[in-house]
Chains A and B, each alone.
Chain A
Amino acid sequence: MFKAKIKVTLKKAILDPQGKAIEGALHALKYINAANVRIGKYIELTLKEKDEKAARQKIEEMSKKLLSNPVMEDFTFELEKIK
């Protein structure tokens, strides 16, 4: 069994208004050096799979199909073997 930690973020070229709003709030709190705030999604799941290669493939597949929208989002993930 594997545990996957998947991060979905807006593509770099896409303006992130939520990130901008939070950046503004950080500046208002005097964290003036904070910049380039980007908001994303963090998804955790476990996967019953013996082989790591197969698990990677499945996570890749579900990330493309449902968890992210390839038109506007990128994803990365970490895989960890659990009992």
Chain B
Amino acid sequence: MKFGIVIFPGSNCERDCFHAIKNVLKQPVEYIWHADTALDDFTCIILPGGFSYGDYLRAGAIAHFAPIMENIKKFAEGGGYVLGICNGFQILTESGLLPGALQRNQNLKFICKNTKLRVENIKTPFTARYKEGQVITIPIAHMEGNYIADKETLAKLKKNEQIIFRYCNEKGEVDAASNPNGTLENIAGIANKRKNVLGMMPHPERVSEKVLGGEDGVHIFKSVLEKMLAG
């Protein structure tokens, strides 16, 4: 049982994720180089934040065709746990492992701040430790976090309970004022139908221990760990 963190040229949150798994969760974790193709015996793969390939063309567009991605697709399709954070989420939508797309923030600014999120679905391997509707604080730091999908896709996301996190206010109300980037229906994170692939714009690794200012994010890693331990 082992976590793997993929490094693309331009990834810049891989060490934070590594630290959260190795020193906070105290679990085995290894880096995976984008140009490799072998995926060894990983149980959970993390696609970290950053600017893979400089975000050239579109965020995540070129990373989608990195040599390692073919096996990551197979891994995900076989039920392996894949967590895409920020740029990782963008790579997952570009790869078609998650529906929809992430376009530029409506105000055209890079937004870096704490956001409140409402946990919309706890019946996933990544959110089992939260309470339904719990309000958590996790920071965002992105230029393209404005999630879009057509009506049919949105209807499917709702029907299959694939919307996992929404931006909300302190009371947990999902309103326009809490929407940082123009994202469709305040969506901050979604999963695939099977729920083994989660993509989210907020950075849970940045709130994985008290010294960092919060622990609201660590439960994503702990949830998936518990799931992994349970087999």
Q: Which residues of A contact B (CB under 8 A)?
A: 10, 14-15, 17-18, 21, 41, 66-67, 69, 71-72
Contacts and interface: CB of A to CB of B under 8 A. Distances in A.
A14 B148 contact: yes
Interface majority SS (helix, strand, loop, mixed), chain A: mixed
Given A15-B106, A17-B107, A21-B108, A72 B101 contact: yes
B58 interface: yes
B104 interface: yes
A16 to B, nearest CB: 9
A71 B58 contact: no
A71 B104 contact: no
Given A66-B57, A66-B61, A66-B65, A71 B106 contact: no
B133 interface: no
Interface majority SS (helix, strand, loop, mixed), chain B: loop
Contacts of A10: 103
Interface of B: 57-58, 61-62, 64-65, 93-94, 99-101, 103-108, 148-150, 182
Nearest to B96: A71
A15 B65 CA distance: 28
13 contacts: A10-B103, A15-B106, A15-B182, A17-B105, A17-B106, A17-B108, A18-B104, A18-B108, A66-B57, A66-B62, A69-B101, A71-B93, A72-B148
A27 to B, nearest CB: 17
Contacts of A15: 106, 182
B102 to A, nearest CB: 9
A17 B104 contact: yes
Contacts of B94: 69
A40 to B, nearest CB: 12
A69 B61 contact: yes
A33 B108 CA distance: 24
Given A69-B61, A71-B149, A72-B101, 7 more contacts: A10-B103, A14-B103, A15-B182, A66-B65, A71-B101, A71-B148, A71-B150
A69 B58 contact: yes
Contacts of B149: 71
A45 B66 CA distance: 21
Q: Which of B58, B64, B106 has the most CB of A within 10 A?
A: B58
A71 B107 CA distance: 21
Nearest to B146: A17
B80 to A, nearest CB: 24
A76 to B, nearest CB: 17
Contacts of A66: 57, 61-62, 64-65
